[in-house]
Amino acid sequence: MNEILEQLGEFGLVPAVKINNADSAVDVGRALIAGDLPVIEVIFRTDAAEEAIRRINNELPEILLGAGTVLTVDQVKKAVSAGAKFIVAPGFNPTVVDYCIENGIPVTPGVNNPSMIELAVERGLKLLKFFPAEASGGLKILKAVAPAYSGVSFLPTGGINEGNLADYLAFDRVHACGGTWFCKDALISNGRFDEITRLTKNAVSIVLGFSISEAVVYERAEDDAVFSISFLSDLLNFPLITGRASAKGGPEFENAGVSSQGKYGRIVIKTNNLNRAAAYFKRRGVKINPGTSSREAEKQESIGLEIAVFGFSVNILQK
């Protein structure tokens, strides 16, 4: 799969945004960046779309920028000329798809039945937009169809929201989901960019699914560290276990083992997807263990962060 399309999987969620006024484009982009989701698919359904893409490309190069609802080759040319790095289409238009393939433009066409999928497979495409997802039968249909096409992943869009996002992403053939609920037209037109950031953060939280699994204090930790874990265990309703080796909250381990980076102990956090978690920490400037890339994290059950928080090492565990 193309490297740019691979990155969509690291985000897990792609904002599909309709921008009616190009003057709002950069503000929308900044709101998404502040919400820890620096990716946008500008819907090519308005007269402002091309200029919106151009402004985001010029002012916010850190955003992974694409164009959606692309229907013609002319629109592909305009979007790419303005700075779009990938193209998303609602259906499978052979003329558009073939043009993109011939010109090395990453493209994700829309499909919702086996015949359309086979047109894409014939052309060697590995990532397809499942659209309209919910109206086409949702996750039930996707799970029924996907096993017939090994090596193909999907980007469900249409009806995805904070209530079903986690369920879609839990299916291993879902590369990422497309969503609009956190950057709706009304929020943009009313200048409520802080609200877009808040909703985006909530959406990213659903994608990552972070939860504290356990907190361990090493035997020779200072009193304030033991107190901190005791407080945390009480606050989060973890059982507090004390013994010769450790005092800890959480059910995962029976003793503390040996300390790596943490002077006082370790905190273990579970996540829905290690690959996305590793990419998220990288975007936030937090390094993971040396030699472990986000793609390598897919093959592991846990990763460690190269930081200590209040004297505790932090490990991320796959749920």
Nearest to 41 by CA among 86, 103, 11: 86
Q: Catalytic: 18?
A: no
Region 41-63 average pLDDT: 98
Which range has highest mean pLDDT (118-122, 287-291, 296-300)? Answer: 118-122
By CB neighbour count within 10 A (0-12 exposed, 13-18 middle, 19+ buried), where does 6 fall? middle
Q: What is the SS3 assignment for 180?
A: coil
Residue 37 clears pLDDT 80, i.e. is over it: yes
CB 195 within 8 A of CB 187: yes
Residue 258 clears pLDDT 70, i.e. is over it: no
Complete domains list, the chain, with CATH: 3-208 (3.20.20.70), 211-318 (no CATH)
Amino acid 237: pLDDT? 59
Amino acid 58: pLDDT? 98
Distance CA 111, CA 241 (A): 52
Please write the tens of the pLDDT for every residue from 111-139: 999 999 999 999 999 999 999 999 999 99
Mean pLDDT (the chain) is 88
Q: Which amino acid is it at 305?
A: L
Helices and strands in the chain, H and E counts: 13, 15
- Among 41-45, 87-91, 264-268, the minimum mean pLDDT is found in 264-268
Active-site annotation holder among 41, 50, 51, 214: 41
Residue 264 clears pLDDT 90, i.e. is over it: no
CB 180 within 8 A of CB 17: yes
Amino acid 225: pLDDT? 66
Q: Catalytic: 282?
A: no
- Among 93-97, 252-256, 269-273, 304-308, the minimum mean pLDDT is found in 252-256
CA 188 to the chain's CA centroid: 22
CB 106 within 8 A of CB 123: no
Active-site annotation holder among 129, 214, 248, 270: 129
Please write the tens of the pLDDT for every residue from 216-257: 777 665 666 666 666 666 665 555 554 433 444 444 333 344
Any residues with CB less than 8 A from the CB of 143 and at least 6 apart, and which?
171, 173
Amino acid 163: pLDDT? 97
Percent of the chain exceeding pLDDT 70 equals 83
The pLDDT-based confidence of 214 (bands split at 50, 70, 90) is confident
Tokens standing for residue 259: 């300390």
Amino acid 228: pLDDT? 67
Kind of pairing between the strands at 153-156 and 127-130? parallel
Distance CA 57, CA 75 (A): 17
